[in-house]
Amino acid sequence: MSTERLEKKKTIDLRKKHIGPSCKIFFSHDPIKIMQAKGQYMYDEKGRRYLDCINNVAHVGHCHPDVVKAGAQQMELLNTNSRFLHDNLVLYAQRLQDTLPDKLSVCYFVNSGSEANDLALRLAWQYTGHKDVITLENAYHGHVSSLIDISPYKFQHSSDAEHNQSVHVAPSPDVYRGKYRADHPDPATAYADEVKDMIQGVHEKGGKIAAFIAESLQSCGGQIIPPPGYFQQVAEHVRKAGGIFIADEVQVGFGRVGTHFWAFQLQGEDFVPDIVTMGKPIGNGHPMSCVVTTKEVAEAFLSSGMEYFNTFGGNPVSCAIGMAVLDVIVKEDLQGNALRVGRHLSSLLEKLKEKHPLVGDIRGQGLFSGVELVKDRLKLTPATAEAQEVIYRLKEQYILLSADGPHRNVLKLKPPMCFSVEDADLVVEKIDQILTEIEEALGLKLHNGSSVENESSKRKLPAEENGHQCLTGIAHNRGSGQGVQQTKRLKT
Ligand SMILES: Cc1ncc(COP(=O)(O)O)c(C=O)c1O
């Protein structure tokens, strides 16, 4: 076990003093100090083991020895920029291309998901000569200025909103809570028609569409799985308007969905984006990312006459690491594992839904799952505070999970890909216990299998807008001593 250099309190004090206060920390009243990690486990300063259900960056497992070795060996030899010829760069580009449809053949290596999406926008603007971008409700695509503009997840709640007039927000293709739901005869067409109408509106105002950008499965947006056929239809409308389709695979790529290597492939073989952006899992924690596009788009970018240079993008160490990640995915059949464990997890979660009134929806693909908690299955009232309670109580049992989505009421599972059937059993068993206790405390019961009867329907469960507030009702039911503690710990 690695040794602690500072006492936890000192680490907290120094962080408060020197680290920007908007850099949020998990569980702020009692943050976790992680010293070491391996596979799907993280260890704190006391050697306590946490089951990691949220770190999709540590894709092939934390500190995978093959990845560490590949990076260290290359670092001993050489690390420099891509202005020199190096085999790692071209071999890695070729390896990535092998996982993609043929026409996506040209790579730009960059350093973060944000850099990848920012470059994707530049490519789209240059290729099309147009400016307008369509993004989805609740989307998050990165932290740089150009991406905050296309990330309603960030800007939709901000009060000083002077939003970029060339950005247009289409409805999220959410068939549970969205505008067109599972009972709609053709939600894919209905959502795609929204984009078509939006394009027409842009044209009427003299704008021209450069790109439609979407995560292949929305993650921060609430683990949303778009209905099959939606992307094909959107791509048709967007291309007809002279724009291109950018698939953001920063969260969901590299085999996580189990059946396919890329999540956009879930839409069907007839769908190929014009640009794919990659990040997080690509380097298993090493900061690297990539934009892959077509020859035509890359040539148009060249024609601007501006050189593209990136000091660190595509350096030999990053490429060695990227190749090791691809090797481990194959060697350990992690895509297959995502499929098998993902199916097992889904069936366990479905049973939770049958049992617990708070569980409104279960959705997912492979090791990318969402459990949407609602206080009322008919009205879909988000159970935001309850979701926070689940997260906190799991942490006390050494399981790391998070809640996201516009109402912060969707429990997100996106663990390292070595997550096992036993890990799935454990996390679902704990969620089951916690939900049982919360429902007992709230007097919630399943009624006729679908609606939820709340015996204390007048009791309000206040939640701050960000969803990180106390569960007053539960705390009162448990006794005042616990209530105080509850109030404190639910502030993240
Ligand atoms: C879908 C998506 N795209 C892009 C990004 C930005 O990536 P990064 O934080 O590496 O800049 C994120 C980060 O969370 C993301 O979730």
3-state secondary structure the chain: CCCCCCCHHHHHHHHHHHCCCCCCCCCCCCCCCEEEEEECEEEECCCCEEEECCCCCCCCCECCHHHHHHHHHHHHHCCCCCCCCCHHHHHHHHHHHHCCCCCCCEEEEECCHHHHHHHHHHHHHHHHCCCEEEEECCCCCCCCHHHHCCCHHHHCCCCCCCCCCCEEEECCCCCCCCCCCCCCCCHHHHHHHHHHHHHHHHHHCCCCEEEEEEECCECCCCCECCCCCHHHHHHHHHHHCCCEEEEECCCCCCCCCCCCCCHHHHHCCCCCCCEEEECHHHHECECCEEEEECHHHHHHHHCCCCCCCCCCCCCHHHHHHHHHHHHHHHHCCHHHHHHHHHHHHHHHHHHHHHHCCCEEEEEEECCEEEEEEEEECCCCEECHHHHHHHHHHHHHCCEECEEECCCCCEEEECCCCCCCHHHHHHHHHHHHHHHHHHHHHHCEEEECCCEEEECCCCCCCCCCCCCCCCCHHHHHHHCHHHHHHHHHHCCC
Residue with the smallest CA separation from ligand 1 atom 2 is: 141
- Distance (Å) from CA 249 to ligand 1 centroid: 9
- Distance (Å) from CA 195 to ligand 1 centroid: 23
CA angle 109/113/118 to nearest 5° reads 80
Q: What is the pTM of this model?
A: 0.92
- Distance (Å) from CA 147 to ligand 1 centroid: 10
Instruction: Tell me where in the chain the CATH 3.90.1150.10 domain(s) lie.
Output: 8-60+334-489
Please answer whether residues 231 and 245 qualify as being in contact, where contact means their C-beta atoms are separated by less than 8 angstroms.
Answer: yes
- Distance (Å) from CA 378 to ligand 1 centroid: 33
Instruction: Tell me where in the chain the CATH 3.40.640.10 domain(s) lie.
Output: 65-331
In ligand 1, the atom with minimum distance to the C-alpha of 289 is 10
- Distance (Å) from CA 100 to ligand 1 centroid: 21
In our burial notation (b when 16+ CB lie closer than 10 A, e otherwise), range 332-344 reads: bebbebbbbbbee
- Distance (Å) from CA 143 to ligand 1 centroid: 8
- Distance (Å) from CA 326 to ligand 1 centroid: 20
Q: Which fold has domain 65-331?
A: Aspartate Aminotransferase; domain 2 (3.40.640)
Backbone angles phi, psi at 206, to 5 degrees: 90, 5
> Of the residues 24, 119, 138, 141, which should be mutated to test ligand 1's pocket, given the most ligand atoms within 8 Å of the CB?
141
Determine the Cα–Cα distance for residues 45 and 492; give it in Å rounded to an integer. 21
In ligand 1, the atom with minimum distance to the C-alpha of 220 is 16
In ligand 1, the atom with minimum distance to the C-alpha of 215 is 1
Per-residue pLDDT at 3: 77
- Distance (Å) from CA 111 to ligand 1 centroid: 11
Determine the Cα–Cα distance for residues 79 and 76; give it in Å rounded to an integer. 8
Residue showing tokens 């990539």: 290
Q: Which fold has domain 8-60+334-489?
A: Aspartate Aminotransferase, domain 1 (3.90.1150)
Residue with the smallest CA separation from ligand 1 atom 7 is: 113
Per-residue pLDDT at 450: 53
Determine the Cα–Cα distance for residues 410 and 393; give it in Å rounded to an integer. 16
Determine the Cα–Cα distance for residues 62 and 446; give it in Å rounded to an integer. 40
> Helix 87-98 crosses helix 316-331 at what angle (to 10 degrees)?
40
Per-residue pLDDT at 467: 31
In ligand 1, the atom with minimum distance to the C-alpha of 112 is 10
Q: How many CA atoms lie within 13 A of 187 on its CB side?
A: 18
Residue with the smallest CA separation from ligand 1 atom 16 is: 251
Reading the block at residue 126, the tokens are 């240059």
| Measured CA distances, 313 to 110, 277, 322, 377, 383 (Å) | 4, 14, 12, 47, 42
- Distance (Å) from CA 192 to ligand 1 centroid: 24
Residue with the smallest CA separation from ligand 1 atom 15 is: 141
| Measured CA distances, 16 to 10, 24, 25, 35, 111 (Å) | 10, 11, 11, 19, 27
Determine the Cα–Cα distance for residues 474 and 465; give it in Å rounded to an integer. 19
Backbone angles phi, psi at 257, to 5 degrees: -80, -5
Residue with the smallest CA separation from ligand 1 atom 8 is: 113
Determine the Cα–Cα distance for residues 434 and 432; give it in Å rounded to an integer. 6
Per-residue pLDDT at 171: 98
- Distance (Å) from CA 295 to ligand 1 centroid: 25
Please answer whether residues 122 and 210 qualify as being in contact, where contact means their C-beta atoms are separated by less than 8 angstroms.
Answer: no
Count of Cβ atoms closer than 10 Å to residue 296 Cβ: 13
CA 229 to chain centre: 21
- Distance (Å) from CA 119 to ligand 1 centroid: 13
Please answer whether residues 423 and 61 qualify as being in contact, where contact means their C-beta atoms are separated by less than 8 angstroms.
Answer: no
Per-residue pLDDT at 193: 98
> Of the residues 109, 140, 216, which should be mutated to test ligand 1's pocket, given the most ligand atoms within 8 Å of the CB?
140
| Measured CA distances, 114 to 140, 153, 198 (Å) | 10, 14, 26
In ligand 1, the atom with minimum distance to the C-alpha of 280 is 10
pLDDT in tens, the chain (492 residues): 567 899 999 999 999 999 999 999 999 999 999 999 999 999 999 999 999 999 999 999 999 999 999 999 999 999 999 999 999 999 999 999 999 999 999 999 999 999 999 999 999 999 999 999 999 999 999 999 999 999 999 887 665 556 899 999 999 999 999 999 999 999 999 999 999 999 999 999 999 999 999 999 999 999 999 999 999 999 999 999 999 999 999 999 999 999 999 999 999 999 999 999 999 999 999 999 999 999 999 999 999 999 999 999 999 999 999 999 999 999 999 999 999 999 999 999 999 999 999 999 999 999 999 999 999 999 999 999 999 999 999 999 999 999 999 999 999 999 999 999 999 999 999 999 999 999 999 999 886 555 554 443 333 333 332 233 333 334 333 333 333 233 333 332
Residue with the smallest CA separation from ligand 1 atom 3 is: 141
Residue with the smallest CA separation from ligand 1 atom 4 is: 141
> Of the residues 151, 250, 275, which should be mutated to test ligand 1's pocket, given the most ligand atoms within 8 Å of the CB?
250
- Distance (Å) from CA 151 to ligand 1 centroid: 10
Determine the Cα–Cα distance for residues 414 and 255; give it in Å rounded to an integer. 12
Backbone angles phi, psi at 136, to 5 degrees: -105, 150
- Distance (Å) from CA 450 to ligand 1 centroid: 36
Q: Which residues line ligand 1 (CB under 6 A)?
A: 112-114, 117, 140-143, 215, 219-220, 248, 250-251, 279
